Structure 1
Amino acid sequence: MWSLIVAIVVGFVAGLIARALHPGDDKAGFLMTTVLGIAGSLLATYAGRLLGLYGENSAAGFIASIIGAIIILFIYNMLSKKS
């Protein structure tokens, strides 16, 4: 449970940094950026666990969370441009 809370808090900060690093004109607001950052952090956490990089009760690191948030933000931008 604690690792999930850490992933959410780190994801919040990672989403803000990912938005600053991701090139392009983002129309997502502050709340959507936060949600995408949390999703990216959770993606990095569970993908790392699946690959055996993290233990069962550990969360992804800060850099991995930023990379996960950039991936989620990129996918979000591709899907939002089509609609």
Structure 2
Amino acid sequence: MLGLIISIIVIGLIAGALARLIVPGKQSMGIGMTILLGIIGSFVGGFLGFFLFGADAQDGFFQPAGIIGSLIGAIIVLLLWGAFAGRRSSRR
């Protein structure tokens, strides 16, 4: 169980950091928020993979498609975060 939690955190950190590198602009978040971004992105990517392709996680946790799905999900979450955060700060 501890190994699963550590691997989720590591994959979240990798996916979140890569998403922050790919998406242009300044994202004001620390390492904890980057990990959370990657973890949420993994759930979004997994949901999209299952919804679009019927893919399932039965083949194992570390898969290239799973990591790519996590990255795509993290990019989507980061873009949505930027859109909502930008909208909120422009009202002031």
Larger Rg: 2
How would you bin the TM-score normalised by the shorter chain?
Answer: 0.7 to 0.9
- 1:33-69 per-residue CA deviation (whole Å, 9 max, x = no partner) reads 2111111111111221122341253555212211111
TM-score if structure 2 supplies the norm length?
0.70
Aligned pairs, number: 81
Deviation at 1:15, TM superposition (A): 0.5
Unaligned segments of structure 2, at least 5 residues: none
Root-mean-square deviation over aligned CA pairs: 2.3
The structure showing larger relative contact order (alpha-carbon pairs under 8 Å, at least 6 residues apart) is: 1
Of all paired residues, the percent bearing the same amino acid is 40
Q: Please show how residues 1-83 of structure 1 align to structure 2 within 5 Å.
A: 9-55=10-56, 57-58=58-59, 61-83=66-88
Mean Cα deviation higher: 32-41 or 9-18: 9-18
In 2, the alpha carbon distance for the partners of 1:8 and 1:47 equals 20
In 2, the alpha carbon distance for the partners of 1:26 and 1:56 equals 30
Aligned partner letter, 2:21: A
Unaligned segments of structure 1, at least 5 residues: none
In 2, the alpha carbon distance for the partners of 1:55 and 1:64 equals 12
From the superposition, tell whether residues 41 and 56 of structure 1 become closer, same or farther in structure 2 (CA, over 3 Å): closer
